[in-house]
Structure 1
């Protein structure tokens, strides 16, 4: 009789199965097995926040598999991750199994482990517990809060601010931080200041530099020398004096090592030192946690990576201390183990810090088993954990003051030297965002302070006469606050106590996916859509995007997880006020919204001109005033004299001076002329985003309409720096890359409905972030095609013609393919379980011919594009057909998302009630009709 263990991921199940052997069957839930359905009514405040849960096919399939495995089993161990989400997944699995009657006679226990090692897993099995009810309550409260904010506030956005995507409880606060930082930068006015420095030599001839700090007996403030005249006068005064050393101050300071990583600090350091995004960091850490194959054995290399804790297990500390003494010597080992405590607000469950599971697995030892990203991240985690238990560094700091004979003109020189490197021998945390920017080729701010900690001074004594060399006066300007990087935004959110560090990566990604912000040169730049949404929320729902209010809610959620308060009581208090705020916007007119946003964002959309003229004067009629306007597809700039003056300007695609350089009324910018045809190439904005176009629509000799050549911009292309050469290259897509060494078929790259891709025959693969569709080479193309081939399962050859029969993973689910014939797999048939005979029968019964969508091609899907182009001025990007469409009609492309707000806004409560009543009446009417016939 075997016991059943349920974990979250297949990789984790595979690793643990090796540890436990034949007495256990380890199965994966594949994350959450059910969730709140994304529709109104899933959380019902009027029924004391009752919730409806819904499972998709995958969840049902996994729970059914667990239920089958439980037949004859004595115990079920729920071993999902050791946090709130893991506790919730275990609860969902138990609830679904209980409803199936699969738990009769089965003992259900919860186990957790912070690392996937044989010792940790066996210890957990020996110390099981029940499900943690307060943790589950905290999960329910968080899920209900996020649902109610999203599904109640987003429709208000869609109705009152067309073109908006969504709002979220934490997402909107993070967006506000980014937008407010941008407003600070725009409002910033640089101030001039000067510094005076002199070069000196000691009596022994050793040179050094010193900066002027006192003039005429008074200490200089930053802006005391605020113009060239004052700076030159101060320089002349230094040049006129004879200087000697007045004081030499030496002191030794200790620098302690940083604590081992938490989720937040890991994301920050990986961003600064490795250039990893938060999502990339968490994905890579997940792989290291779940285990990598090392000489036939799967080994979990790091502990659980979603944690607020900085403490480490006693045995881990002891092992690290032994390693330090053996590797570096007794002088690098503190007399007692270092103890750390979390300083983060709302630190939740007492997990360990992120550390290596076995310090003996050094980065050098495991490097050959890891890919490049895994190796870099593991080395960072390993060094940080080991350094945290090493001796402090000792630094000798020296400050020398020089004065003239009057002692009224004083200069200061500072320097330091490392007396004992301590933990710095292994790990340095002194690389901030600016240092990372310098490594990435981004210029340092003009007012950046010099790093005196790395400057050494020659030996000097008091009263030593000095020989003066060159004196220089340097001009500086203050710099605006830097835009948030992923690292600095994560740090800010953690300091404010907003959200959970484990959710930061997904929040930052959602902001980019909604086109609220872009990430350029490692910095977040808010887009106009994001600024409009923020201005709306701050104007009409200020409390719910306030950092203090959001942090306070997080504190209440932590109190729920600690069993201190009832989660429904928290929900009642929140919902009462939130509902009132929503109801207050029912009579809010869109014109009121426009006036408010126009006033709030006026300085952004209409920055002051250098010549002092009014930036809002309409350039078309000269008498109208430009202002913010709203259309069905979003916001734009328009003239107050409409309809007499039809001047409009999109919020984006700016020219050199913030306005379009040509054809402003049409919202386009001319890039130049096509070298071959001489036709104008323009950059435009359509309903599906930015695109380039060659020429204009017209008619041919036979009177048939002709369609101009178009190509979409990819997400990482900057419209402001797009030049003619890249536009011509985009219009020439798809382009050949080379030929496959095995088949000899041509590999091409292009941009389709779902973004940039490469193609080999009938195999397509989307490009990844960082890949340039215009410059991608053969080596990278072969790497991507290898991933695409991994999504294909070859079943065998068809009995009729011997051609291969395959199953492929598609956007709408797995499908079978034989030549150009394709068929969707039924929902109850898993891709891994399908047989050749089943698939051949399926293709014969439900197969249809695959017709790739190519430019100029015919077909039902293609026929709709010209109509959209005519109506909106832009055609949707083309897309290769890589799979059959699902049985229900699927959205053609991203524009479908834009239609959703209208649909949601149109369904007012009264309309929904009528629809429900009509639906309920149908069965009764049918029965009555049938009775009448009888």
Structure 2
């Protein structure tokens, strides 16, 4: 057995590290955390200093048993989990679960390279109990909040349900930010003004764009300005050219990587972290959970060498960045490549795209500033003292821009182009001047990236918490992430051309959203409840202060139990007060909208066990009220009486097709159009309340085309036909069924494409088996989704990792499956009915 056992938390990490260490080391994975608080119990002894009661998680019992066996035979055990609080806690839990000594060696590294691993082996330390306690404090505090507060939400808000609602420090604050932004947007009253822009034609037919630096509040004032310009002479009154420079952004921290990957690559926060984890475990980048912008001197030197080799001396400008966050650990590094000379990191497309982003940002941070020249032209108007301004920018030396330019959340940011040649006193020919009505806009809704940025600015959460926080609030249906179409709005535009002023009314689409976070009715009700009855939990300053307390624990300045005690007393008292109050679910998330003019009954918008709904009438013994579900984009607090009554308009008849009526309704599987006693689902983009007859007919015809089975022709002398079954559209040939790939329809299918799919299916089936045995056809070695296995009769047997599937013999397969060899098998004697009867009597 090996002298040294190294334990990491990831199998991919274990494989990479094992390649760097010699034969005296074996590297095994714990597969993440091995102990935790039980799910169905608080498991915290509040009376005895908030002592947590941990258990080995059920799925890790076998892992722990295997590690125990290895640890007993090893001369030395090395704990090599990640270099942060979470990793420190995993090492401590491993020590406790495996019964290791207190002086068990703990090694840390920020990148998985040979030098980093060997240096870590040369300088081991012990487990840092302060870091463990900081993570333990976070876990205990979050368990106390969740375990005590969630039942209050079940009872007071969504009676009868205990699975969907939960509360937590960071997740509740994140929901509050989204809810408050939604209300800010809803309360925004757009104000219009008129922006004046002009286009001049200069020598050589080049265009000079300019604008008035102020807007006019009304159309009359804008028209008056254009009138002044009707017969005006325009001249270049002043030209001002100033040198400018751009400085590169620092290398990535966890949050800036999440933000930039969202903006540039359209990755979700969790997708970014999953890809970064894989790159780290493969030894391609440094550790991906960090709030430091610092780079080691070794990394700076390697970046310099790469810049010199590719771009030359002029492009080198090494610098060290200082992290703004007070809690940042400068001993840690920013996210960077482990090898700056490597441009390719993975065969996976998205991993490669993320790696390139990290490489460019890190390289650019050590490159020279970009040298610019900004020119401002002031254009005088002979008939009025107002002046127009034209601006342009020229890059004199690209510097770091040769590699990378940071993106921003500012949707209005424009890259200013170069101005045509101009001279002071030059007379300009006006081509067109426009005064266009513009509207003020509210603050934008949060994307995942901008929410992470906001949380970080407020000091709420830490690098490891952002991805799970966003996943949790979406999973709990407090928030939805989706695209939403905009609305149409009219605007006015005045145009001066050839000394004539014309006016036109146009239409524009505004408010369209792409991958934005919207609060749900449930999210708004839960947020309001917490704000009113548990203000500390959703208080921004309080939540940020708790994070600082965790930092103090990590630095050994305060005890974790003391910190928990200071929080728990008031919190627990508040929980008991609210639990015992007369507050009921009917007082939360309910709003009276007015009177239904048809029935004269009250109309309410409410939150129920299955979501938000509208109710007409009261629930009494004599009469049952009418109910209708809110649409996904409607909120209890903003829906109007008219909008609520519209929800009762379904089912509705939209017209006739083939002399039969078409009815729109909403059923168990969503909105539909019913025609000739058949139901056709509406598309995601179709609104059942506004859909037109033409669209309903189109959907009916599409459904017919997809479901109609028809012969396409022949292949190999046998018919090829199509149809639609339980699992979707298919091709049938030679009594075999081949499903159509996603995105393809029966209506667009040709015989050539069908034959191509038949051949692909055959090839897949042929390559499915790694090995077959003619002497025993019931035994096969098969490629599976989760690895190779032996198929023997109706049983599947997993093949051990140390066995080569392609080299297995029939005898090997029978042995691994626990079957006797063919020659050892005796034919089974079948019991007769008489013998069975005797056995039953016995």
- TM band (smaller chain): 0.7 to 0.9
Which residue of 305, 314, 317 corresponds with 2:297?
Answer: 314
In the aligned structure 1, how far is the partner of 2:179 from the partner of 2:135? 30
**SS at the partner of 2:465?**
helix
Shift of 1:519: 1.8
| 1:635-663 Cα distance to aligned partner (Å, 9 max, x none) | 42213544446222212257999878999
* Alignment partner of 1:270 is 2:261: yes
Tell me the equivalent position of 1:341: 322
Tell me the equivalent position of 1:388: 365
- The structure with the largest alpha-carbon Rg is 2
Shift of 1:515: 2.3
* Alignment partner of 1:150 is 2:146: yes
- Within 5 Å, which residues of 2 pair with 1:659-670? 664-665=647-648
- Within 5 Å, which residues of 2 pair with 1:183-582? 183-200=183-200, 207-213=207-213, 220=214, 222=215, 225-291=216-282, 300-334=283-317, 337-344=318-325, 346-348=327-329, 350-361=331-342, 363=343, 366=344, 369-405=346-382, 408-429=385-406, 431-433=407-409, 448=412, 451=414, 453-520=415-482, 521-582=514-575
Tell me the equivalent position of 1:618: 596
CA change 1:359–1:465 in 2 (3 A) is same
Cα RMSD for the two superposed structures: 4.8
Shift of 1:466: 3.6
> So what's the TM-score if we normalise by structure 1?
0.70
Shift of 1:21: 2.3
**SS at the partner of 1:96?**
helix
In the aligned structure 2, how far is the partner of 1:202 from the partner of 1:411? 16
Q: Would the aligned equivalents of 1:245 and 1:464 in 2 still touch at CA under 8 Å?
A: yes
In the aligned structure 2, how far is the partner of 1:28 from the partner of 1:546? 40
Q: Would the aligned equivalents of 2:617 and 2:626 in 1 still touch at CA under 8 Å?
A: no
Which residue of 590, 597, 604 corresponds with 1:598?
Answer: 590
Q: Would the aligned equivalents of 1:7 and 1:80 in 2 still touch at CA under 8 Å?
A: yes
Q: Would the aligned equivalents of 1:202 and 1:466 in 2 still touch at CA under 8 Å?
A: yes
Q: Would the aligned equivalents of 2:248 and 2:369 in 1 still touch at CA under 8 Å?
A: yes
CA change 1:750–1:635 in 2 (3 A) is farther
Q: Would the aligned equivalents of 1:110 and 1:130 in 2 still touch at CA under 8 Å?
A: yes
Tell me the equivalent position of 1:648: 627
Tell me the equivalent position of 2:614: 637
* Alignment partner of 1:121 is 2:112: no
* Alignment partner of 1:77 is 2:78: yes
In the aligned structure 2, how far is the partner of 1:402 from the partner of 1:18? 69
- Within 5 Å, which residues of 2 pair with 1:647-726? 647-652=626-631, 664-665=647-648, 680=663, 682-684=665-667, 691-692=670-671, 724=696
CA change 1:6–1:46 in 2 (3 A) is same
Q: Would the aligned equivalents of 2:173 and 2:539 in 1 still touch at CA under 8 Å?
A: yes
Shift of 1:25: 0.7
Shift of 1:672: 8.4
Shift of 1:681: 5.8
Tell me the equivalent position of 1:438: none
| 1:332-390 Cα distance to aligned partner (Å, 9 max, x none) | 112xx2110112464357421111101111x2xx26x4221111111111111100000
- Higher mean alpha-carbon deviation, 83-92 vs 63-72, is at 63-72
Q: Structure 1: 5+ residue runs without aligned partners?
A: 214-219, 292-299, 436-447, 603-614, 699-707, 826-831, 843-934
In the aligned structure 1, how far is the partner of 2:721 from the partner of 2:27? 44
In the aligned structure 2, how far is the partner of 1:66 from the partner of 1:721? 63
- Within 5 Å, which residues of 2 pair with 1:689-838? 691-692=670-671, 724=696, 802=778
In the aligned structure 2, how far is the partner of 1:193 from the partner of 1:693? 43
Tell me the equivalent position of 2:134: 138
Shift of 1:140: 0.4
CA change 1:31–1:666 in 2 (3 A) is farther
Shift of 1:493: 1.2
CA change 1:757–1:665 in 2 (3 A) is farther
Tell me the equivalent position of 2:829: none
> So what's the TM-score if we normalise by structure 2?
0.77
Shift of 1:818: 6.4
Shift of 1:271: 0.9
Q: Would the aligned equivalents of 1:806 and 1:818 in 2 still touch at CA under 8 Å?
A: no
In the aligned structure 2, how far is the partner of 1:2 from the partner of 1:393? 55
CA change 1:537–1:727 in 2 (3 A) is farther
| 1:524-582 Cα distance to aligned partner (Å, 9 max, x none) | 12222222222222232222112221111111111111111111111011111211221
The alignment of Structure 1 onto Structure 2 pairs a total of residues equal to 748
Tell me the equivalent position of 1:13: 14
**SS at the partner of 1:556?**
helix
CA change 1:663–1:323 in 2 (3 A) is closer
Q: Would the aligned equivalents of 1:815 and 1:822 in 2 still touch at CA under 8 Å?
A: no
In the aligned structure 2, how far is the partner of 1:575 from the partner of 1:750? 58
Tell me the equivalent position of 1:175: 175
Shift of 1:458: 2.8
Q: Structure 2: 5+ residue runs without aligned partners?
A: 483-513, 799-804, 806-811, 821-842
Indicate the structure with greater strand content: 2
Tell me the equivalent position of 1:97: 98
Shift of 1:799: 11
Tell me the equivalent position of 1:296: none
Tell me the equivalent position of 2:485: none
CA change 1:307–1:732 in 2 (3 A) is farther
CA change 1:486–1:632 in 2 (3 A) is closer
In the aligned structure 1, how far is the partner of 2:654 from the partner of 2:270? 36
